[in-house]
Structure 1
Amino acid sequence: MDLLLLEKILLSLFFSILLAIFISKLRGKRFKLPPGPLPVPVFGNWLQVGDDLNHRNLTDLAKKFGDIFLLRMGQRNLVVVSSPELAKEVLHTQGVEFGSRTRNVVFDIFTGKGQDMVFTVYGEHWRKMRRIMTVPFFTNKVVQQYRYGWEDEIGKVVEDVKRNPEASTSGIVLRKRLQLMMYNNMYRIMFDRRFESEDDPLFVQLKMLNGERSRLAQSFEYNYGDFIPILRPLLRGYLKICKEVKDTRLKLFKDYFLEERKKLASTKRSDNNALKCAIDHILDAQQKGEINEDNVLYIVENINVAAIETTLWSIEWGIAELVNHPEIQRKLRDELDTVLGPGNPITEPDTHKLPYLQAVIKETLRLRMAIPLLVPHMNLNDAKLGGYDIPAESKILVNAWWLANNPAHWKNPEEFRPERFLEEESKVEANGNDFRYLPFGVGRRSCPGIILALPILGITLGRLVQNFELLPPPGQSKLDTSEKGGQFSLHILKHSTIVAKPRVF
């Protein structure tokens, strides 16, 4: 490290300690803060709890400090809530007060400092972006318009797996083919485009860039520089890579997809009543001056990350649990055969008359929640929560995984048992009607993608179970379901090799 830079850091550290002590004394007089571990100047609790603030570590802290606790992570206040009552306060009762988003040094790069919808602060820009995105993406009309495409895509998956001789013997990594399916599902909606194979050069590049974006954004490696600004110079190389990935991705979106739709619109005037793809609606909003070109690109950015990968993680978890619980897989297959008839492929309308399938999906989302801490919230102004003062611009995490896995609220929550949603929890839905179960959040900043994710999950799991007996590879009794967590995510650590033995009808 440059000696001059080191000297500046040490001087900044000294003055920051003095400032932190002074501010701490002032705040101690003004605020009744939530409980938490005793912070030290400058570093706060970072040295005690580390970077890895995943759902399980935060659950352990909740057991020690209570349903609401405060961590001082450098200069950031992090408030974690772990009860249904407090979750309701944050997400519903005080949804406006806690309706903003906190970003960090990496997400500022990937979202252009909040020019997107997911990470922008609560206000006029968010309302405008949400309104513009709802009609082309998040309505029942969209589901009915595109469900034939989703059914076609999973049909192609089934055909490809049946043609692959390894699938029924040594097994295949089914996720790879399902990833192509999910890209096609969303790119049909966005751009009226699909990729023919996993080897499509554009798909390979897109998948690589999106994967690198997710890795960089989800990593805990950069937290120290985000929490403690004087250490930020040490992130220079990391942030440079983030910016390069961001620029390359946005250029790819623009050159290969947006410009193509613009050319198509300028050369072919279609009937006004004809169905448009989502990006046509977004570009219309840009032409009307409601949003700018950067906003359009960041909408595409959000869909690439939030809609594709999260649904894929849930599909992958669902398959793994069905493989590891063959009796549940058989029960689901019996329901499909009984209700639809053997060999009759499940369609989107069928998913609503298959209660056990719905229960399997709910249980997957409960035990293996893709976004276990939801997307963080923030209060722009000083607020009250659970009888405590919450300083302005605190990062608020709702530990939704613990809400859905707390044995005080759920019977044997560690078990994968879909029957719970047909028995004692029969009235609980994924839309947030019960604050113990919030896989998509609830309220103003809930995930609007629920309307797409649930039918895609139902069609995908249903078709696979209809057509195959899903088994672990030879020599294994179960799949490894070790978790890999990130800043927000929860996905399976190792992409499983699965034997898919075709059924004979």
Structure 2
Amino acid sequence: MDLLLLEKTLLGLFAAITLSIVISKLRGKRLRLPPGPVPVPIFGNWLQVGDDLNHRNLAALARKFGDAFLLRMGQRNLVVVSSPPLAREVLHTQGVEFGSRTRNVVFDIFTGKGQDMVFTVYGDHWRKMRRIMTVPFFTNKVVQQYHTGWEAEAQSVVDDVRADPKAATDGIVLRNRLQLMMYNNMYRIMFDRRFDSMNDPLFLQLKALNGERSRLAQSFEYNYGDFIPILRPFLRGYLKICKEVKERRLKLFKDYFLEERKKLSSTKPSNNAELKCAIDHILDAQNKGEINEDNVLYIVENINVAAIETTLWSIEWGIAELVNHPEIQKKLRNELDAVLGPGNPITEPDTHKLPYLQAVIKETLRFRMAIPLLVPHMNLHDAKLGGYDIPAESKILVNAWLLANNPEQWKKPEEFRPERFLEEESHVEANGNDFRYLPFGVGRRSCPGIILALPILGITIGRLVQNFELLPPPGQDKLDTTEKGGQFSLHILKHYTVVAKPRVF
């Protein structure tokens, strides 16, 4: 069997080499492609640049090849955009042309080949999914309805940390408790449910499966099989694990959450006024025939990853930077005390009258962008970009991290300095009003979760700084902020221990 596979692989390689050379010659005559390293047959630039296409490696290539450059990764064309004008072209001016999503062999498994909202192609299905998800998840009404719940969850974190005797001496891994908080924040919205503790069996199952899903999807290990399809047989074991994790997750969502909401709704009149949580709205759309049950499950899959994990990463980064910059932490605490009064807990409406808190959040999102390459875009048809020809179905990466950390565009971007958003960059907002700063993207495929993420960040960071002096663990001067990148994510490599000394009011 192995010999047969080897024979087929070698024949496939020969055919692919021949085809690659022919296509390359034909395209070379009629297309003006972006610059980039010289590709070799079959492998393209893969052997030169490797699997790890993280934001820093791509920034280094941009310095060499320019603001738009092309990588041929096996059979895939990958175009990287690294300037505000070109980002505007991709995300806004030509938002329709570049509005689709490219997936890969693993994301195809986890999203049912684009049956969700985040990874579907631009078109009727995406418009329908976006419309159905917006009302129950992404409006000011949702913020007004749920912000007291977010405040209660943040206070519960404060209370648990105060009650932990080790927190003020040896320190605790604060992320673990914040993770429970984020699940409760989003499961309140989705299912009108919360988990009582970090030991809740259902919470532990969800956390484990979602964590495994993130690890498998964000890993660079499978890129070779995605770039070069004839190598995919070597990914059988990896893809089998992905399918098993996908099936277990969707079964968990269905058995423990969707079915329960269906039972509850069946005992009530069919009236929109009775819809209590987001999934009731989603199930109502299913009952009307607008979407099917698979779409419902993949909406839940999107929220579990996109809303919970990314916000949690940003909170974790923000706390780390405040620990490592005690003068910034003190300045923020002074603002909270001066505006709200010592001991008066911050609420969502308060976040709008705390400019330094807003600046700390903006700087965290700039300096430690959770999705530094945004979610990849794709053009379904041949397109033009910056005077270059972009072949159909090219993967377009906007290096949003480089846009926000380019020393030609920003004053000392390597420094964590919230004051920049009160001084020279005071006009810049996180909503994409400046194409140098796109933590949530902009345009048709921007992240709608901005409306939830910003207040949750403000409430959580605000309450922690109000109640504790946050310090490195004994014997350390600073926390380790080594980055761990993924396919397009950025989180901290090690979940750090932090000492939380309670304040006395």
Q: Same fold (TM over 0.5)?
A: yes
Q: Deviations over 1:412-444 (max 9, x none)?
A: 000000000000000000000000000000000
2:343 and 2:155 mapped to 1: Cα distance? 12
Aligned to 2:363: 363
Verify: 1:129 aligned to 2:160, yes or no: no
Q: Does residue 337 in structure 1 map to residue 342 in structure 2?
A: no
Deviation at 1:230, TM superposition (A): 0.6
Alpha carbons 2:80, 2:398 under 8 Å: kept: yes
User: Which residue does the alignment assign to 2:242?
Assistant: 242
1:200 corresponds to 2:200: yes
Q: Cα distance, 1:171 vs. partner?
A: 0.1
Partner of 1:154: 154
CA deviation map 1:247-283 (0-9, x unaligned): 0000000000000000001123387435520000000
Alignment of 1:81-160 (within 5 A): 81-160=81-160
| Deviation per residue, 1:356-408 (Å, 9 max, x gap) | 00000000000000000000000000000000000000000000000000000
Alignment pair present for 1:266 and 2:266: yes
> In structure 2, what is the Cα distance between the partners aligned to 1:53 and 1:257?
37
The code of the aligned residue for 1:333 comes to: R
* Amino acid across the alignment from 2:92: H
Are 1:441 and 2:441 matched, yes or no?
yes
Q: Does the 8 A contact of 2:71 with 2:79 survive in 1?
A: yes
CA distance in 2, matches of 1:17, 1:386: 30
SS in 1 for 2:273: coil
Distance in 2, matches of 1:95 and 1:5, equals 42
Deviations 1:76-127 (A, max 9, x none): 0000000000000000000000000000000000000000000000000000
Q: Summarize the alignment of residues 408-423 of structure 1 with structure 2, pairs less than 5 Å apart.
A: 408-423=408-423
| 2:153–2:181 contact (8 Å) kept in structure 1 | yes
5+ long unaligned stretches in structure 1: none
Query: In the alignment, residue 208 of structure 2 is paired with which amino acid?
Result: M
**Structure 2 CA distance for aligned equivalents of residues 15 and 318 of structure 1:** 51
For residues 444 and 230 of structure 2, what CA distance do their matches in structure 1 show?
Answer: 35
Aligned partners of 1:119 and 1:319: how far apart in 2?
30
Aligned position for 1:314: 314
CA deviations 1:30-84 (Å, max 9, x no partner) are 1000000000000000000000000000000000000000000000000000000
Matched residues in 2 for 1:4 and 1:286: separation? 47
Maintained 8 Å contact 2:275/2:281 = no
What's the secondary structure of 2:416's corresponding residue? coil
Give the match's secondary structure for 1:185.
helix
DSSP 3-state at the match of 1:72 = strand
Partner of 1:27: 27
In structure 1, C-alpha distance between the alignment counterparts of 2:59 and 2:116, rounded to whole Å: 30
- Which residue number corresponds to residue 431 of structure 2? 431
Q: Which amino acid is 1:157 matched to?
A: V
The corresponding residue for 2:396 is 396
How far the C-alpha of 1:207 sits from its partner, in A, is 0.2
| Aligned residue in 1 for 2:485 | 485
Q: Are 1:163 and 2:163 an aligned pair?
A: yes
Tell me the residue number matched to 2:6.
6
Within 1, Cα distance between the matches of 2:270 and 2:140?
Answer: 23
Hey, what's the Cα distance between the residues in 2 that align with 1:5 and 1:326? 59
Partner of 1:373: 373
Counterpart residue number, 1:387: 387
Deviates more, 1:24-33 or 1:271-280: 271-280
Report 1:54-69 matches (<5 A). 54-69=54-69
Written as runs of structure 1 = structure 2, the 5 A alignment for 1:268-307 is 268-269=268-269, 272-274=272-274, 276-307=276-307
Name the SS of the counterpart of 2:343 in structure 1.
coil
Does the 8 Å contact 2:406/2:413 carry over to 1? yes
Residues 100 and 120 in structure 2, CA contact (< 8 A), matched pair in contact too:
yes
Q: Say if 2:268 and 2:274, in contact at 8 Å, map to a contact too.
A: no
Q: Equivalents in 2 of 1:260, 1:224: separation in Å?
A: 41
Partner amino acid, structure 2, of 1:363: E
Q: Deviations over 1:143-176 (max 9, x none)?
A: 0000010000001000000000000000000000
Matched letter for residue 467 of structure 2: N
The answer (yes or no) to whether the contact 2:33–2:389 under 8 Å persists in 1 is: yes
Q: Distance in 2 between matches of 1:108 and 1:174?
A: 34
SS in 2 for 1:149: helix
Give the root-mean-square deviation of aligned CA atoms: 0.8
Determine if contact 2:138/2:452 at 8 Å carries over to the other structure. yes
Letter matched to residue 367 of structure 2: L
Instruction: Say whether the 8 Å CA contact 2:320–2:479 is kept in structure 1.
Output: yes
| Paired residues for 1:202-241 under 5 Å | 202-241=202-241
| Structure 2 unmatched ranges of 5 or more | none
Q: Cα deviations across residues 321-349 of structure 1 (Å, max 9, x unaligned)? A: 00000000000000000000000000000
Q: SS in structure 2 opposite 1:257?
A: helix
Give the aligned residue type for 1:244.
Answer: E
TM-score after normalising by structure 1: 0.99
Give the whole-Å Cα distance in 1 for the aligned partners of 2:257 and 2:269: 18
Q: SS in structure 1 opposite 2:144?
A: helix
Partner of 2:252: 252
Partner SS for 1:273: helix
Q: Distance in 2 between matches of 1:476 and 1:187?
A: 36
The percentage of counterpart residues that share the same residue type is 88
Aligned length: 505
Distance 1:370 1:322 in 2: 17
Distance change in 2, residues 1:128/1:272 (3 Å) = closer
Q: Distance in 1 between matches of 2:203 and 2:177?
A: 12
2: CA distance, partners of 1:367 / 1:75: 33
TM score, norm. by length of structure 2? 0.99
Q: What SS is found at the alignment partner of 1:501?
A: strand
In structure 2, the residue matched to 1:452 is 452
Secondary structure in structure 1 of the residue aligned to 2:115: coil
The aligned amino acid for 1:386 is G
Shift of 1:449: 0.1
| SS of equivalent to 1:444 | coil
Distance 2:419 2:278 in 1: 38
- Letter of the 2:323 counterpart: V
- The secondary structure found in structure 2 opposite 1:381 is coil
Q: Which amino acid aligns with 2:228?
A: I
- Shift in alpha-carbon separation, 1:94–1:272, aligned structure 2, 3 A: closer
The CA distance in 2 between the partners of 1:76 and 1:30, in whole Å, is 19
Once the two structures are TM-superposed, the CA of residue 313 in structure 1 deviates from its matched residue by 0.1
